[in-house]
Amino acid sequence: MFFFKIISSLLSRFHVEKIIKRQYVQDYATLVELCKQLEKSKLLAIDTEFVRTRTLYPKLGLLQVSDGEVIALIDPVTIEDLSPFWALLTNEHIVKVLHACSEDLEVFLTAANCKPVNFIDSQIMMAFLGHGLSLGYAAMVQHFTGVELDKSESRTDWIKRPLTERQKTYAEADVEYLHQIYPKIYQLIVDAGWLAAAQQETQLMIERKFTPIDGEFMYQNIKMNWKLNAKQLNALKYLAAWRYQQAQKRDLPLGFIAKDHTLIAIAQRDPISVGAMIGIEGVEVLDIKHKGKAMLQVLNQANKIPENEYPEKIIRLDDYPAYKQIFKQVKNFIAKAAKDADLLPENLASKKQINHFLSWHFKINNADKDENIIDILYGWRFELFGEKLQTFANNDFK
């Protein structure tokens, strides 16, 4: 008995590293076998590697997953059917964690229209723990483990084959440490009382990523659109919708079809020929040379629209009476609410979210009819300060 006590004591002084199986999955049969094992897990750490340099949509180069016992790199270049993996993402019985998942959600959407469930973003969780909204994965790992990750492979070509051993090691680390430290993050956020809020924030991101983009409203995202009158704005509306359709069809970034300032300049001047287009100040000559004729056709189509169907002129929120003072009032209100909740003000509302609320409150640019969620008046934010903010706005805004 004494001997066994000594052995137990000695073993307790040493950390016995868990042996983790590492797999590089390059065929469908192995993928099926892997996913049968993973579907029994309670928690999966997931990541993706993709390339998005000259395309509208991200090109999936690698899928990484770990259940704590196996770390698998799944090769979408050699495996055409990834449905067993997508089934894991939609399995409601498995928690999936991913760090800074915004672009990864686009990968899931464009690669398979796969909308994940029971999914949470560890970057969002860390924000509720006082680490800011944009804490990187390497910084999070170092915070919890002291390990400094090599991130030099983050911008490599993940489509090119074969992958190097260095790339594989880099990719494995993105899920290995995430699975290790997630239980710590989970316990911390449960103790802090913000788990439900982090889940809501993640779900809100998912819903927005999977909401179809309506090309007819793309003109609203173009800078300087407020300079245009109703007729010019109608031309911009048609040009922006055409550009988005072309970008989708050819899988090119919007700017590769035509630059924003080219569309603005053409909408302002309504030229009648390609030659006239080239003479407009502010246009990109290459845009005109390659797309001038197509844009003329779009303008002709826009000019057939009756005036009563023109979009309303866009009002700049900055030009609203006393905007700067009102914005400051809201910002101070939110800062106090954040202090009371022991959160950073940026957790409660960004400048964009405040402006969205103000546009809704003052009924600017039909924001009061916008079906999009007003973040400040939704979910955990509304419970925390939204109702008080509405009362404050109704009573104090002049």
| DSSP characters over 357-380 | HHHHHTTGGGGGG--S--GGGSHH
Q: Return d(Cα 61, Cα 160) in angstroms, integer.
A: 8
Q: Domain range spanning residue 32?
A: 19-209
Confidence class for position 15, pLDDT limits 50, 70, 90? very low
124: closest CA among 175, 180, 186? 186
- Mark which of 256, 282, 309 sits at the end of a domain: 309
366 or 381, higher pLDDT: 381
101-155 per-position pLDDT tens digit: 999 999 999 999 999 999 999 999 999 999 999 999 999 999 999 999 988 888 8
Identify whether residues 164 and 37 lie together within a single domain. Answer: yes
Q: Distance (Å, rounded) from C-alpha 102 to C-alpha 108?
A: 10
Q: Looking at the domain assignment, is residue 11 inside a domain?
A: no
Evaluate the CA torsion angle 29, 167, 251, 236 in order and state its sign. Answer: positive
Domain boundary residue, one of 256, 289, 309: 309
Q: Are 284 and 339 part of one and the same domain?
A: no
Same domain, 110 and 45: yes
* Same domain membership, residue 43 and residue 131: yes
Q: Is the pLDDT of residue 205 over 80?
A: yes
Confidence of residue 369 (pLDDT cuts 50, 70, 90): confident
Query: Based on the domain organization, do 48 and 183 belong to the same domain?
Result: yes
| CATH code, 203 | 3.30.420.10
- 3-class state of residue 100 by DSSP: coil
Is there a domain that residue 140 lies in? yes
**Total-model pTM:** 0.91
Q: Is the pLDDT of residue 259 over 80?
A: yes
- Which one, of 102, 313, 326, 287, lies nearest residue 205 by Cα? 102
Q: Length of the chain, please?
A: 398
In a domain, 50, yes or no: yes
Residues 391 and 376 in one domain: yes
Beta pairing class for 43-51 and 70-74: unpaired
Distance CA 254, CA 215 (A): 12
Residue 6 lies in a domain: no
Beta strands in the chain (DSSP E): 21-25, 43-51, 59-66, 70-74, 95-98, 119-121
pLDDT for res 397: 73
Query: Which of 209, 234, 263 lies at the terminal end of a domain, its last residue?
Result: 209
**149 and 54 share a domain?**
yes
Query: Tens digit of pLDDT for each residue in 49-106?
Result: 999 989 999 999 999 999 999 999 999 999 999 999 999 999 999 999 999 999 999 9
The answer to whether residue 8 is domain-embedded is no
356 and 335, same structural domain?
Answer: yes
In a domain, 14, yes or no: no
pLDDT of residue 5: 43
Dihedrals phi, psi of 207, to nearest 5 degrees: -60, -40
Q: What is the pLDDT of residue 398?
A: 55
- Can you tell me whether residue 62 is helix, strand or coil? strand
| Neighbour-count burial of 18, counting CB atoms closer than 10 A to its CB (0-12 exposed, 13-18 middle, 19+ buried) | exposed
The whole-number pLDDT of residue 396 equals 73
Distances from the Cα of 155 to the Cα of 47, 151, 167, 387, angstroms: 15, 9, 10, 44
Where residue 322 sits, what CATH number does that domain have? Answer: 1.10.150.80
Q: Are 34 and 162 contained in the same domain?
A: yes
For the chain, the domain total comes to: 3
* Co-location of 43 and 120 in the same domain: yes
Give the residue from 162, 16, 23, 185 showing the smallest Cα distance to 97.
185
Residues classed as catalytic:
47, 49, 104, 170, 174
Residue 3 domain-assigned (yes or no): no
Q: Is residue 74 part of a domain?
A: yes
Tokens 């003109």 sit on residue: 219
The torsion defined by the Cα of 98, 25, 58 and 105, in degrees rounded to 10, comes to -30
Same domain, 302 and 169: no
Average pLDDT estimate for 339-356: 95
Mean pLDDT for the stretch of residues 5-17: 43
197 and 327 assigned to the same domain: no
